[in-house]
Amino acid sequence: MEKNKLKKLITKIFVKHKLSKKHALICAEALVNAELVGAPSHGLSRLKMYCDRIKKKVINPRPKIKIKKISKSITHIDANNSIGFVAADIGIKKAIKSAKETGFGLVGIKNSGHYGLSGYYAEQAVKKNLIAFAFTNAPPAIAPHGALKSLFGTNPICFGTPTNSKIPFILDTSVSMINRGKIRVASRTGEKIPEGVALDKFGKPTTDARKALEGVQLPIAGFRGSGLAWMVDILSGVFTGGNHGGKVKDPFDDFSGPQNIGHLFIVMKANIFVKNFNKRINENIKRIRRLPKLKGVKEILYPGQNKYKRFNYNYKREIKMNETVLNELKILNN
C-alpha cells in the first residue's frame, strides 16, 4: 500500500478508537516510519495491540497530560496512561526546546506506554544538530544474570549524534540478542527463531518462538547485557516514577491495567564544549571507515547508515504487509 494512503488509514483507525486527529496522526507517522526503516516488528504488526488496549481501557485515548517544568532544562511529564507515541512526541520536543535554549534538555516521562522505535525520537533531535540519548523500559523478557525468571525488558539503548552529513549516527539497540517484536512475529507466522537467543521456561535453549515467549530471552554479552538492561530499568523506570523491576505489563497479553512505562530523553547541544564539533565528528568517522577491512567486507558502516539506505529504498515503494496484518487492518477499519 502507498505510504500516504496507509498513513491516512491508520489515522482513521485511531480516530475511530477515540484519539484526537492530532494524536492519531502522531501515531500513524511513527508506525509508518517503522515500516520504512525496515522494522516491521515495531510497525503495523502492533496496530491491533494498541487498539485492543484502548478498547480494554488500559490506554487512555483522551489523556490529560501533566507537564511539570522543574527548571529551564528539566521537565517531568505524567502521561496519564496515554499511548506511548503521544507522550514521547511531547517529551522529545520539550527536550529539544530546552537544549536549544540552555544547551541541555532532560525529560522524564511516567504513566506512558510502548512508544515504538527509540531511534525515531533521537533522530528528531539529531536533525536539529543535537546529541541525544533515549531510554525506555519494557515488559519482562530477560532474566537477570544467574536467574531463571524474566524480569528486565529488552530495554533499548539509543544514542544519536549529527555527523556533518545527511546520514545521522543513530545507535538503537535492544539489550537482548534479538528484539521481542521479532519473536512475536515469528510466533504468529510459525517461523523458527535463531539459535542462541532464547531459553524455554525450563531453561533449555529453544528455536520455538512460542516457547521463547514463555521462557526468557538472552541478553547481549552475558552478564554485561543483563547489567545494561538493569541500568535502563533504573533510568527509565525508577528515576522517572514509572513501573520497574518487572512490573511493566505485557501489552499483548496483560490487560489488567496500564503499563506505566517510563521514558527518559537526554538532549545536548553538540557544540557545548567545542565549536568545531561537526569537523571533529567527521574526522572521527573518516578515521574509522579508513581502517583495513576484513576479507569480504566492502565498507565499514556507522550505526544509522543501513537504516538510512532501507528508508530511502522503501520510501519509493509501496509498503508490503503480510496477510495477517492486512486482515487486521480490514477488521479495524470496519
* pLDDT tier, 119 (very low <50, low <70, confident <90, very high otherwise): very high
Q: H-helix or E-strand containing 50?
A: helix 47-55
- The pLDDT of residue 330: 94
* Angstrom distance (rounded) from CA 168 to CA 177: 24
* pLDDT, the chain, mean: 96
Segment 28-79, tens digit of pLDDT: 999 999 999 999 999 999 999 999 999 999 999 999 999 999 999 999 999 9
| 319 close to 329: Cβ distance less than 8 angstroms | no
- Please check the confidence at residue 263 and state whether its pLDDT lies above 90: yes
CB atoms within 10 A of CB 74: 17
Nearest CA to 114 among 59, 185, 171? 59
Domains of the chain, earliest start first: 1-55+307-334 (1.10.1530.10), 73-176+219-303 (3.30.1370.60)
Segment 231-244, tens digit of pLDDT: 999 999 999 999 99
* Angstrom distance (rounded) from CA 180 to CA 71: 36
Neighbouring-strand partners of residue 169: 161
- The pLDDT of residue 2: 95
> Rounded to 5 degrees, what are φ and ψ at 251?
-70, -25
- Please check the confidence at residue 148 and state whether its pLDDT lies above 90: no
CB atoms within 10 A of CB 292: 6
Write out 102-119 in H/E/C secondary structure. HCEEEEEEEEECCCCCHH
- The pLDDT of residue 108: 98
CB atoms within 10 A of CB 57: 12
- Please check the confidence at residue 189 and state whether its pLDDT lies above 90: no
Task: Give the whole-number percent of the chain exceeding pLDDT 90.
Answer: 93
Helix (H, G, I), strand (E, B) or coil at 132: strand
Contacts 24+ apart (CB under 8 A), 321-330: 321/1, 321/44, 322/189, 324/45, 324/188, 324/189, 325/44, 325/45, 325/47, 328/44, 328/47, 328/48, 329/9, 329/13, 329/44, 329/47
Q: Is the dihedral of CA 170, 239, 30, 248 positive or negative?
A: positive
- The pLDDT of residue 42: 94
* Angstrom distance (rounded) from CA 232 to CA 165: 30
* pLDDT tier, 182 (very low <50, low <70, confident <90, very high otherwise): confident
- The whole-angstrom distance between residue 301's C-alpha and the CA centroid of its chain comes to 22
- The pLDDT of residue 240: 98
- The pLDDT of residue 129: 96
* Angstrom distance (rounded) from CA 213 to CA 187: 8
Segment 273-321, tens digit of pLDDT: 999 999 999 999 999 999 999 999 999 999 999 999 999 999 999 999 9
| 46 close to 35: Cβ distance less than 8 angstroms | no
Q: Is the dihedral of CA 300, 164, 309, 161 positive or negative?
A: positive
Provide mean pLDDT across the span 249-277.
Answer: 97
DSSP 82: -
* Angstrom distance (rounded) from CA 285 to CA 248: 38
Segment 154-181, tens digit of pLDDT: 999 999 999 989 999 999 999 999 988 8
* Angstrom distance (rounded) from CA 14 to CA 19: 6
